[in-house]
Amino acid sequence: VRSAVIDGLRQLGQALRARGAAVDVEVVKATVSILKFVDPYLGSSFDVCLNSPQRQVSRQLISTTLSTFPAFRPLFIVLKAFLVARDINTTFEGTCGSFLLFTLVLSYFERTADPTCSLGHHLFAFFHLYSSVLEQTRVGLRCSTAAGPGRWIQGGYFLKHMQGWQDDSRPDSLAAVSAVDQAIDL
């Protein structure tokens, strides 16, 4: 199945390139392989995955989040632009990819955010939370998420050593549980 997904991503990349709709096309083989490309007209980067086993859960999570927290989208876009401008937005290079950023912003809104605040306030409060308040050497974060029919896992913070995610070689690394797969540290 994995080689079929990678072949599908390659074919999609070749088709987009042939039509002039993509440049800098690359297939990244990872836990969930992705096609990375840049739109030549907008200069925007895109990541596409095919046949992800968690796609339905991801789609529902994103849809629910956007309807629950109206300020989520503008904050996410500003933060994504911030990461792209500093070239620290690539998961497989150890920086903050889109799904980790999604998880951080969702956790921020679930725990601390006043939905009536301005975008500027949210931006400042987000940076304050993750740069000054959260003790990421000891603590990780988990978003609330569905855990199957009729089951719900409450989000919050946890001690990294209790989860088995304490990495003494990288004590400052952020631990964030995937809202889609609770066994994955983003």
Closest Cα partner for 101 from 90, 113, 86?
Answer: 90
CA distance 73 to 57: 19
CA distance 95 to 93: 6
pLDDT tens, position by position, 175-185: 777 776 665 66
Q: Tell me how crowded residue 138 is: count the other CB atoms within 10 A of its CB.
A: 14
pLDDT tens, position by position, 85-133: 887 767 666 677 778 888 889 888 887 767 778 999 999 999 998 888 8
pLDDT of residue 18: 94
CA distance 122 to 119: 5
pLDDT of residue 145: 63
Is the pTM of the predicted complex or chain greater than 0.75? Answer: no
pLDDT tens, position by position, 142-152: 777 645 444 45
DSSP 91: G
55 or 119, greater pLDDT: 119
